[in-house]
């Protein structure tokens, strides 16, 4: 009896597909049916994983990207992002301060506000804003159909971009702030002549005296330090206030000025030119005829090459040290913050809430440490600049 049951089940399994196959053959042979009917999905088995894969792709596209979030906060942008909000329909909107976009394309100057790009979702005047996050934000040229223009080599056509982006805008704010602070201190000296400093005047005087007596005078020397003191004070105050403003997470602060390698490179180049233009004959003689070096090293130009390379590596060291230290501090702080969202998305909201306590504590600790680093980096950059200039202008100590 059991064998009979197995035989009937096997017969049904074989007969079923054969019966359907016969129906498919008859339908295909019927010339009155349209071709579209024969090719429909009614005769195909539906893939149960297709819809699931589509949903996973959509979720991965909308998933939180910690790397893009961190890099997007420490790099430059064509607008000053403030915050995001969701409307009643659940759609996300970004609130940002638009900045001037200045482009030169084929000799034609175009000036407009970055709000015309609608945060990269719209083209304007044949331009499109692309990138952001892990990719560099830049402007490319597009045609009327919205396709990127390509040159003969197949590369995207880009205009000359001299826009006032977030970092230059922050520099303008810092410069205005420094001018106001110096003018307030100056007026304080006029009103309180021959009296003890008070309020903001006390802070400015303390920093000025510190830079003069502890950095510039010992490094450059009593004879020459007054000539370079204005530059050193400007250097110290600009770097110090830029570092401090970068730690404040809301407008008009929050821009990573000294974490932009173009800014640190410019400051290092200024020190480089001042050092080598101010260098006396003994400075250059010591480079190509270093005293105390064996004669055979001078005949075989090993030491002159080393000394000449050192002339160019000094500003590179200045540039990289300031850039790397300030950028690393911002990345570490943001890294602790994004941990909250990583654990919330991957595990659960409860775990994310628990991690938030630890993240906030460590973020506050690193922020306090960054306040100290902001001062130390301004001190080190000013000290090394004074040292390089002092080595170039000092009088020889040998016969």
Give the pLDDT means over successive 10-residue stretches in the chain (399 positions). 44 44 44 44 46 45 69 85 80 85 91 88 90 85 90 89 93 94 88 80 90 93 91 95 88 88 94 92 80 69 80 92 90 87 85 86 89 93 94 72
For 137-186, write each residue's pLDDT tens digit: 899 999 988 899 998 888 899 999 999 999 999 999 999 999 999 999 88
pLDDT at 188: 85
Identify the pLDDT of residue 201.
86
pLDDT the model gives residue 298? 67
Question: What is the reported pLDDT for 243?
Answer: 93
pLDDT, residue 300, reads 67
- Cα distances (Å, whole numbers) of residue 17 to 13, 28, 37, 181: 7, 16, 20, 88
Q: What is the pLDDT of residues 102-138, one digit of tens each?
A: 999 988 999 999 999 888 888 998 999 998 877 888 9
* pLDDT at res. 299: 67
> What is the pLDDT, as a whole number, of residue 397?
59
CA neighbours within 13 Å on the CB side: how many for 344? 16
Please tell me the predicted confidence (pLDDT) of residue 276: 92
Cα–Cα distance measured from residue 237 to residue 204, given in angstroms and rounded to the nearest whole number: 10
Is the entire prediction scored with pTM above 0.85? no
Rounded Cα distance, 340 and 354, in Å: 8
- Determine contact, residues 249/366, Cβ cutoff 8 Å: no
* 318 φ, ψ (degrees, to nearest 5): -60, -45
């Amino acid at each position: 009896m059991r064998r009979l049951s197995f035989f009937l089940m096997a017969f049904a399994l074989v007969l079923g597909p054969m019966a359907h196959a016969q129906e498919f053959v008859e339908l295909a042979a019927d010339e009155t049916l349209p071709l579209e009917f024969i090719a429909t999905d009614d005769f195909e088995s539906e893939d149960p994983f297709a819809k699931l894969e589509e949903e996973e792709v959509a979720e991965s596209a909308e998933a939180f990207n910690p790397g893009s979030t961190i890099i997007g906060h420490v790099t430059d942008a064509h607008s000053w992002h403030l915050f995001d909000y969701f409307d009643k329909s659940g759609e996300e909107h970004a609130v940002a301060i638009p900045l001037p976009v200045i482009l030169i394309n084929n000799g034609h100057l175009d000036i407009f506000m970055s709000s015309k790009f609608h945060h990269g979702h719209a083209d304007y005047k044949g331009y499109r804003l692309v990138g952001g996050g892990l990719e560099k934000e830049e402007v490319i040229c597009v045609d009327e159909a919205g396709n990127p223009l390509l040159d003969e080599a197949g590369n995207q056509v880009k205009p000359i971009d001299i826009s006032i982006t977030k970092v230059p805008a922050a520099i303008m704010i810092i410069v205005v702030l420094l001018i106001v602070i110096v003018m307030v201190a100056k007026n304080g000296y006029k009103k309180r002549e021959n009296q003890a400093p008070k309020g903001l005047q006390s802070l400015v005087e303390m920093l000025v005296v510190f830079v003069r007596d502890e950095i510039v005078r010992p490094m450059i020397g009593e004879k020459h330090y007054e000539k370079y003191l204005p530059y050193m004070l400007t250097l110290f105050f600009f770097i110090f206030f830029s570092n401090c403003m970068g730690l404040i997470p809301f407008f008009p602060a929050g821009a990573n000025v000294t974490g932009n390698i173009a800014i640190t490179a410019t400051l290092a180049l200024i020190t480089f030119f001042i050092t080598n233009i101010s260098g006396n004959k003994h400075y250059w003689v010591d480079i190509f005829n270093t005293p105390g070096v064996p004669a055979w090293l001078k005949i075989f130009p090993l030491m002159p090459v080393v000394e000449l390379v050192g002339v160019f590596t000094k500003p590179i060291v200045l540039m990289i040290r300031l850039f790397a230290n300030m950028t690393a501090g911002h990345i570490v702080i943001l890294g602790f913050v994004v941990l909250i969202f990583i654990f919330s998305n991957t595990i659960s909201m409860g775990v994310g809430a628990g991690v938030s306590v630890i993240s906030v504590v460590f973020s506050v600790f690193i922020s306090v440490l960054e306040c100290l680093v902001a001062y130390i980096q301004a001190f080190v950059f000013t000290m090394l600049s004074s040292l390089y200039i002092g080595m170039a202008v000092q009088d020889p100590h040998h016969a």
